[in-house]
Amino acid sequence: MKAELFDIFDEAMNLIGQAARSEAHAKGYWHQTFHCWLTRREGDRRLVLFQLRTANKDTNPSCYDITAAGHLAAGETVAQAVRELEEELGVAVPFEQLVPLLRWQEEDEGVANGVSYIDREFSHVFGLVWDEPLATMRLQADEVAGLYEAELTDMIALFEGQIETVVASGIALQQSGSGNVNVASQAVVRASQFVPRDLSYYIQVLRALEKLT
């Protein structure tokens, strides 16, 4: 299997070369990621969508996360990374339909499958108003275990520490004789169940999404 290559950068985001994904994470090279948060309108309600990572992910398994996200491959542009929406959710939209929200720089260290990693990312963060119901989504079974939505204002209050839980509704993948199917699901969600990041990331993104709806 051919190694996945990343463009790698210095801390000022100057391109310095390319490296395999494993090397980038072993040596802590800066690389690029794509984040896209979907928000949905339902009458007067304003909702934000977030995914549940599968239990077999090598990092942060079974955590709630960005609606769709992924790494940029070597030579790939941010515009081309819109493919993540179709791959993970079955949402095919042109890049021009996305709204830039912010660019985020973060570092994380840990151990995955017994191997230490240093993950340094430049994340290009976008929003998308998507008014189709969740039931129409086609989830990528090896990446996404479920997709949930909750009131946008409640999610801001959750990450700001004003409330402890939010009730979210959505879909979860369930195996059947004919393959994976979407089934209705509900969850009581805590901020601590999301992928660990600086809470200001979530707050800034959610407040930026408010301006789109």
The predicted structure's pLDDT at residue 2: 67
pTM for the model: 0.94
Separation of alpha carbons 190 and 128, rounded Å: 24
The predicted structure's pLDDT at residue 213: 67
The predicted structure's pLDDT at residue 135: 87
Give the residue from 180, 186, 94, 175 showing the smallest Cα distance to 139.
180
Contact 166, 179 (CB under 8 A): no
Q: Which helix (H) or strand (E) holds 88?
A: helix 83-89
pLDDT in tens, 51-101: 999 999 988 999 999 999 999 999 999 999 999 999 999 999 999 999 999
Contact 107, 30 (CB under 8 A): no
pLDDT in tens, 125-182: 999 999 998 988 999 999 999 999 999 999 999 999 999 999 999 999 987 766 788 8
Looking at residue 101, its amino acid is: L
Contact 89, 133 (CB under 8 A): no
Q: What is the CATH number of the domain that holds 106?
A: 3.90.79.10
Separation of alpha carbons 80 and 185, rounded Å: 32
The predicted structure's pLDDT at residue 66: 98
Backbone torsions φ then ψ of 53, nearest 5 degrees: -70, 150
Give the residue from 138, 141, 142, 159 showing the smallest Cα distance to 150.
159
Q: How far is CA 165 from CA 35, 37, 89, 209, 210, in A?
A: 24, 20, 25, 20, 20
Structural domain boundaries enclosing 57: 5-210
Residue 107, SS3? Answer: strand
The predicted structure's pLDDT at residue 114: 86
pLDDT at residue 1 tops 90 = no
pLDDT in tens, 92-137: 999 999 999 999 999 999 888 888 999 999 999 999 999 998 988 9
Q: How many domains does the chain have?
A: 1
Residues 37-48: what's their mean pLDDT? 94
